[in-house]
């Protein structure tokens, strides 16, 4: 009786301590044991082309890891293993390796080596495996009675087109925590926070039998990343990239850029770089090829710049296409002679003829009639010397002289030396000049929406008049004469269309020796002249052998423009190009 009383007293005391004095602490411990919380990873947003073609998307994936220690005994306690168990465990590495080969490919021997790594319980077998593929592997192993493979959840970013538009899209890498991915280049980098979305969470109560149905359950859903739609046309981009590759390879050049732009809107239909890389495996590429040269690299544009110079001269009333110029065989600038690429004695050219023959001397003589500060102001209005705001990372501004530019520098910039531009700046400037004089800042992102369909703000094109409509027509007149010129007539015309173009060949500054070394060959063209809609600009860096823009870059321009006109349903011209005087 006494013992019973003592026991009862002890139990009652303990109950008072547990329930009364220290209840909060115990309740907290119990809740912690029952409560489970997990992070719900947000799906990274998709990037598509202008027609919805998927360029980048995320898939549920896993990292497959193995426990070699467990595989060695096939999950049995060594002391409790029968002879049959030992025989099965001995064959486990090979059997598991066969299943891995079946679903993941690869070499059976290397899998066996990983699965039998001594003194470890953790070996990474494969990363970024489709989640469903892992389920199939797990099913096969379960049916065969093998254990020891596990998964760690991680999403995989896939770029189904591989190298296509990779310099625009960029790439992702594992984030510092090892879970999830973070943009590390291109649009993936610049819009990482919007693409990544916001992770959610789920907290619930469990028992040894699993989740408690009537327990507390708090779910904060993940907000998936924003979907971006680009202005790029994947089909055209594919063709442009292949044609650019052929151009660069044939010219044995260092690199190349190709841009196709909608003249009316400033939208980029294609922006290609070569050499390039595969966004699925950026680690295998050279670092120099991971960027987007069309926006990051500034270069001296050469004679394509004459289009901008003539736009400034016509708009300021200094010249018309029929203005007469006496062009000597050379002129002095800063004490040094300036010559033309073609040898000649004194010739009489119209301003149209200066452009058609790409005469440096004629361009300098005409530009000297214009106020220097005014010329620089025109270059600024064309978008040179400042970033275009296209919405791509690491965009360079290039450089143009100040209004107090030296006379010899003024002479140089008139024909495209002594200043630097990016390909996107130059393409947008020419597009603005031929677009009835209205400049549209280039855009590459068409729209962006959340998973709820709500629009997200993206960089918008801004428009401004840079030259008059009449001046625009005069520049087109001069550019059309390039296509009709002796050199151009056999190489540049596109059957059925009136086109306007300009080639460029610039000596290339080598930053290491700060001297000119090699060339930059380029070619820009627009069509149709009656109502320009498509612009194609090709830049080839350091071609070997032939180095002139009309030889190296023009063929690619012609092929790309022909396909682009057809693809966008631009009707052929109804009239032939008028013949206008280039000499007098």
Residues of this chain that interact with other proteins (CB under 8 A) are 53-54, 57, 59-60, 130-133, 135, 158, 160-162, 164, 210-211, 213-214, 234-235, 237-239, 242-243, 245-246, 490-491, 493, 495-496, 551, 554-556, 558-559, 562-563, 566, 569, 571-572
Least CB distance to other proteins at residue 56 (A)? 10
> Residue 158: beta bridge partners?
57
Query: What is the rounded CA–CA span in Å between residue 320 and residue 334?
Result: 27
What is the DSSP secondary-structure string of 332-370? EETTEEEE-SS--SSEEEEHHHHHHTT-HHHHHHHHTTS
Least CB distance to other proteins at residue 45 (A)? 15
Least CB distance to other proteins at residue 245 (A)? 7
Strand (E) or helix (H) holding 193: helix 192-196
Number of residues that make up the chain: 584
C-beta closer to other proteins: residue 213 or 511: 213
What is the DSSP secondary-structure string of 5-32? HHHHHHHHHHHHIIIIISHHHHHHHHHH
C-beta closer to other proteins: residue 163 or 303: 163
Cα-Cα-Cα-Cα torsion 343, 361, 251, 425, nearest 10 degrees, comes to: -170
Least CB distance to other proteins at residue 346 (A)? 31
Least CB distance to other proteins at residue 492 (A)? 8
C-beta closer to other proteins: residue 350 or 551: 551
Least CB distance to other proteins at residue 332 (A)? 36
C-beta closer to other proteins: residue 241 or 340: 241
C-beta closer to other proteins: residue 81 or 103: 103
Query: What is the rounded CA–CA span in Å between residue 476 and residue 439?
Result: 15
Query: What is the rounded CA–CA span in Å between residue 369 and residue 379?
Result: 16
C-beta closer to other proteins: residue 95 or 234: 234
Answer positive or negative: Cα dihedral of 211, 214, 218, 221: positive
Backbone φ and ψ of 9, nearest 5°:
-65, -45
Closest CA to 333 of 235, 407, 437: 407
C-beta closer to other proteins: residue 57 or 473: 57
Closest CA to 496 of 433, 548, 565: 565
Least CB distance to other proteins at residue 557 (A)? 8
Least CB distance to other proteins at residue 104 (A)? 14
C-beta closer to other proteins: residue 250 or 320: 250
> Residue 60: beta bridge partners?
155
368, two tokens: 């000297």
C-beta closer to other proteins: residue 35 or 250: 250
DSSP annotation of 187: H
291 Cα distance to chain centroid: 8
> Residue 505: beta bridge partners?
521
C-beta closer to other proteins: residue 410 or 558: 558
Least CB distance to other proteins at residue 562 (A)? 5
Closest CA to 431 of 495, 525, 494: 525
Rg, C-alpha atoms of the chain = 34
Least CB distance to other proteins at residue 381 (A)? 34
């Amino acid at each position: 009786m006494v013992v019973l009383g003592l026991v009862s007293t002890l139990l009652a005391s303990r109950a008072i301590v547990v329930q009364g004095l220290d209840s909060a602490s115990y309740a907290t411990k119990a809740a912690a044991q029952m409560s489970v919380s997990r992070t719900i990873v947000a799906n990274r947003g998709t990037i598509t082309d202008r027609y919805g073609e998927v360029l980048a998307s995320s898939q549920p994936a896993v990292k497959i890891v193995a426990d070699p220690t467990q595989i060695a005994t096939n999950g049995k306690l060594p002391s409790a293993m029968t002879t049959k168990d030992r025989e099965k465990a001995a064959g486990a590495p090979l059997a598991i390796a066969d299943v891995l080969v079946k679903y993941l490919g690869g070499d059976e021997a290397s899998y066996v080596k990983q699965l039998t790594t001594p003194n470890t319980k953790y070996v990474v077998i494969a990363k970024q495996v489709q989640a469903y593929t892992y389920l199939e592997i797990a099913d096969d192993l379960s049916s065969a009675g093998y254990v020891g493979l596990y998964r760690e959840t991680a999403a995989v970013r896939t770029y189904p087109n591989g190298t296509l538009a990779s310099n625009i899209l960029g790439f992702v890498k594992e984030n510092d925590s090892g879970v999830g991915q973070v943009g590390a280049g291109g649009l993936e980098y610049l819009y990482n926070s919007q693409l990544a979305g916001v992770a959610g969470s789920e907290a619930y109560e469990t028992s040894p039998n699993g989740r408690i149905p009537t327990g507390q359950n708090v779910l904060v859903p993940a907000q998936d990343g924003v979907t971006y739609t680009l202005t790029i046309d994947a089909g055209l981009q594919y063709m442009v990239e292949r044609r650019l590759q052929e151009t660069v390879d044939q010219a044995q050049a260092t690199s190349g850029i190709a841009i196709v732009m909608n003249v009316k809107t400033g939208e980029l239909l294609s922006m290609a770089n070569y050499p390039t890389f595969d966004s699925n495996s950026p680690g295998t590429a050279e670092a120099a090829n991971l960027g987007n040269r069309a926006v990051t690299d500034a270069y001296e544009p050469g004679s394509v710049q004459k289009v901008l110079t003539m736009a400034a001269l016509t708009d300021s009333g200094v010249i018309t296409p029929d203005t007469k110029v006496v062009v000597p065989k050379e002129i002095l600038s800063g004490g040094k002679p300036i010559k033309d690429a073609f040898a000649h004695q004194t010739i009489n050219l119209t301003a149209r003829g200066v452009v058609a023959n790409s005469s440096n001397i004629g361009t300098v003589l005409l530009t000297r009639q214009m106020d220097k500060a005014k010329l620089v102001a025109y270059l600024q209005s064309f978008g040179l010397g400042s970033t275009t705001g296209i919405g791509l990372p690491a965009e360079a501004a290039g450089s143009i002289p100040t209004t107090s530019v030296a006379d010899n520098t003024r002479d140089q910039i008139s024909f495209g030396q002594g200043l630097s531009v990016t390909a996107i700046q130059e393409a947008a400037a020419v597009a603005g000049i031929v677009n009835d004089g209205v400049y549209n800042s280039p855009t590459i992102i068409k729209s962006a929406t959340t998973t709820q369909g709500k629009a997200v703000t993206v960089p918008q094109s801004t428009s401004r008049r840079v030259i008059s409509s009449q001046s625009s027509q005069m520049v087109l007149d001069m550019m059309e004469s390039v296509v009709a010129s002796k050199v151009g007539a056999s190489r540049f015309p596109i059957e059925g269309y009136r086109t306007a173009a300009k080639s460029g060949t610039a000596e290339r500054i080598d930053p290491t020796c700060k001297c000119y070394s090699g060339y930059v060959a380029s070619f820009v063209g627009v069509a149709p002249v009656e109502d320009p809609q498509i612009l194609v600009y090709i830049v080839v860096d350091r071609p070997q052998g032939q180095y002139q823009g009309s030889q190296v870059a023009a063929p690619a321009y012609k092929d790309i423009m022909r396909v682009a006109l057809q693809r966008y349903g631009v009707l052929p011209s109804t009239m032939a190009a008028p013949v206008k005087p280039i000499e007098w």
